[in-house]
Amino acid sequence: MYEDLQNKVAVITGGSKGIGTAIAERFGKEHMKVVINYHSDAAGADAAVKTVEAAGGQAYAVQADISDEASAKRLVDAAVEHFGDLDVWVNNAGMENQHPTAELSLADWQRVINVNLTGVFLGTKAALDYFLSHDKQGNIINMSSVHEQIPWPTFAHYAASKGGVKLFTETVAMEYAAKKIRVNAIGPGAINTPINAQKFADPEQLKSTTAMVPMQRIGKPEEVGAAAAWLASNESSYVTGITLFVDGGMTLYPAFQGGKG
Ligand code: BGC
């Protein structure tokens, strides 16, 4: 537990499932107040609200499409109206789908870029606007991926969006460091979430993914939640502009394990 997080107000985009809900639950354990944004899964968002409350926090769900500028502002307003302030903004919402690049439609490209990269920009902009106008030492956490670093054939749009999140995070961190606004990213590897449910239900795919993880297991959503709590807290007070990989070592070139190469 991080005492300084108690009663802090957070917005989490894409909070109705997976890593978003795990971060919300962890923030609940820290006795924070959480606005849970969702796009279409109202039942998931309701369940996430109950999870946060059961963990010891407060929560409120807001429907909004985060690739739309007005939505990000609505989320700031919801935080202020319901919980009186805004301290932490988590740009978590993301999506992926698989296409060989030669067959990737412009529509699929744009959908992934809009949610994973433009959504991060719009959320960051809305949070910065609040932090700067209220002279707050706010905290922004962007959900990246191991694929900000590892190329991922047939997921070019996804990898491009996460590479974008990396340099966006670094640039904004530098731009607002003197204002004491910290901006960091988290780079999850293979985590047991709905985005991967189909893949990991297939024993062959589960085996081949696990083989790419030096720790030889799939990660748990709460392990990403723990990273988010640390980045949000004062315990990471001298940390800005990083990507904190939570990947069991996936970014360590596991193909070279045992001295191969
Ligand atoms: C993706 C997962 C994938 C993992 C490792 C993540 O960014 O969302 O689907 O399993 O990277 O490749």
Residue in the structure block whose two tokens are 């959504």: 119
Cβ of 115 less than 6 Å from ligand 1? no
Give 52's pLDDT tier (boundaries 50, 70, 90). Answer: very high
Do 231 and 241 meet the contact criterion of CB atoms below 8 Å apart?
no
So what's the pLDDT on residue 20?
98
pLDDT digits (tens, 9 = 90+) for 67-105: 999 999 999 999 999 999 999 999 999 999 999 999 999
Indicate whether residue 196 lines ligand 1 (CB < 6 A).
yes
Q: Cα(41) to centroid of ligand 1, in Å? A: 21
The four Cα atoms 10, 130, 67, 12 give a dihedral, to 10 degrees, of 0
Q: pTM for the full model?
A: 0.98
Q: What is the pLDDT of residue 107?
A: 98
> Annotated catalytic residue: which of 38, 130, 158, 176?
158
Per-residue pLDDT band for 185 (boundaries 50, 70, 90) equals: very high
Q: Let me know: does 83 contact 33? Beta carbons within 8 Å.
A: yes
Residue 247 CA, closest ligand 1 atom number: 5
Res 118: pLDDT: 98
CA of 159 from ligand 1 middle (Å) equals: 10
- Do the Cβ atoms of 206 and 164 come closer than 8 Å? no
pLDDT tens-digit profile of 189-231? 999 999 999 999 999 999 999 999 999 999 999 999 999 999 9
Q: What is the pLDDT of residue 152?
A: 98
pLDDT of residue 187: 99
Tell me the C-alpha distance between 10 and 29, whole Å: 13
| Best residue for ligand 1 mutational test, from 196, 208, 220, 223 (most atoms within 8 Å of Cβ) | 196
Residues 147-174 have a mean pLDDT of 98
Answer whether 2's CB lies under 8 Å from 230's CB.
yes
233-238's contacts with Cβ under 8 Å and 24+ in sequence apart are 233/2, 233/4, 233/5, 233/30, 234/2, 234/4, 235/2, 236/182, 236/184, 237/182
Query: pLDDT at position 85, please?
Result: 98
Q: Is 158 a catalytic residue?
A: yes
Provide the pLDDT for residue 232.
99
Residue nearest to atom 10 of ligand 1 (CA): 190
Q: What does residue 34 show for φ and ψ, rounded to 5 degrees?
A: -125, 125
